[in-house]
A and B are shown apart, each in its own frame.
Chain A
């Protein structure tokens, strides 16, 4: 027989109490894992979203830069337009490597989301779009037959939603315009998956915006010339320049302020769990005063008693840590779903990334928590005097 089995058997004495305490630890660990996993996953997905745009600089019509940022990412309403002449001018700049004009348009489709209705984002693009995104692959079909064709290429998710394959027709609601599906993109894990792409000229024609653009994506030959390049565009009237690095920074800043809130929630959850563990173990120590006294009478030293109680606490936290990890893994999808509802902008990739390292670190954290929580109850038990514990311990 080992000290460990003495401790373990005692935990089985009051199963419900032990289980509830383990549950408290598990919830704290699960919250911790989910929050840290979210931090990691969100940053990664967001970076991925922005990097996969393929351009370092976006030129848009003048307006609020944050509005421009959300437009670019989400394609909300209230679009502003600029003249195509701006594009022609910038395209001549020798520092530009690749450049792609875009015309975004949104339409409300009342049949989306099971009749609740939803916004469909249409993006008019030119052939250079593929140059900026060399990783784009077609799941089926291919590129537009010409730059004024009545054709569309659909992003992966949009295709699934609309249930369209090449050769099908797709109707733009409110315009009563039918276009032919010519291709479907592979999944990219970015916002592009939800977009319906149209040739730029077609878009300008059917949305009645001749010679207009909403944005120009630019990739420079040398990222080091970004500062100079931005400055040279400041003199252009009616446009603004947004670098992707800025956008990333802005969104990360917004997120990090809410991160402080969520982190304090995690800390509170852990504190409550620790207090719960101390309370439970202390209660069980007082209930067992006579038993502890008799252990001492039959030869247990202070250290022996300390170890038994300490082990019990640690066992609770070890089991809680394991359970918490399991809950966190099983609960990822639910957490993702909730976060997506709450966040103003959720990137397309996985929002919560739980790595083995994170699981192990959280488990280790729970063990350390147990070691700390166990000190006081174990000390109280070990300093009981045997004769008092036995004779007066009722």
Chain B
């Protein structure tokens, strides 16, 4: 089998909300291989997003061991996590979260600025063409539809050539048609470019198009399905 990119060993996440301790992720074991397309599914409050944040080095682990690309990130603080994120990880969010003052092209270029990589306008333009927005690169987010914004966000996540792409409910704010369009981009990235993709969704129709599905309930993995048959 292919390389292991992420290996989670009984990871837990607890945080305090109004003096109440919440155990959002409980004893999760998970291995993610190069080239996988994993959908994390489950009801609201099941810990999908928290698990995704942890796997993507956006959040820290409370207990357990997490290795991301051979870095033991369970012991790292935010200042070190940012370096791992920058080099290896791309993020797409449910609410797109583009910077409203910057054009589509500038939004895509932004991670290069933070990564101190040379500004490659051509690369950014190519990525926007790839997600079908070649003619709208100078539009501001507010001039784009929801589906278009999410495609800009995908181009932004790809510009630093990450090894893994994380997407948190990427179609959650989209209608069925543009949701499927966005999902097709993920499938294409996975199949053609071999990019590893981890996403959360509660849309079964979309989730079943992933190669593997992990079901979460109350912070625990309750079942794992190889769903390549469904594709």
Contacts and interface: CB of A to CB of B under 8 A. Distances in A.
Interface of A: 1-3, 6, 9-10, 12-13, 290-291, 293-302, 304, 385-387, 390-391
Contacts of A296: 82
Contacts of B102: 1, 6, 9
A12 B140 CA distance: 14
Contacts, number: 73
B49 A391 contact: yes
Contacts of A385: 78
B202 interface: no
B79 interface: yes
Nearest to A387: B59
B222 interface: no
B114 A297 contact: no
Interface in B82-116: 82, 85-86, 90-91, 93, 95, 97, 99-102, 106, 109-111, 113-115
Q: Which of B82, B102, B106 counts the most chain A CB atoms within 10 A? A: B82
Contacts of A387: 53, 58-59
A298 B156 contact: yes
Contacts of A299: 82, 85-86, 111, 114-115, 160
B222 to A, nearest CB: 23
Nearest to A391: B49
B157 interface: yes
A6 B82 CA distance: 20
B119 interface: yes
Given A1-B102, A294-B99, A295-B114, 11 more contacts: A1-B106, A6-B99, A6-B101, A291-B99, A295-B110, A297-B93, A298-B90, A299-B86, A302-B79, A390-B93, A391-B49
Contacts of B58: 297, 386-387, 390
B94 to A, nearest CB: 10
Which secondary structure dominates chain A's binding surface?
A: helix
A294 B93 CA distance: 9
Contact of B91 (A1, A2, A297): A297
B114 A304 contact: yes
B110 A390 contact: no
Contacts of A302: 78-79, 82
Contact of A298 (B53, B101, B157): B157
A302 B78 CA distance: 9
Given A1-B110, A387-B58, A294 B97 contact: yes
Contacts of A10: 101
A1 B101 contact: no
A149 B13 CA distance: 108
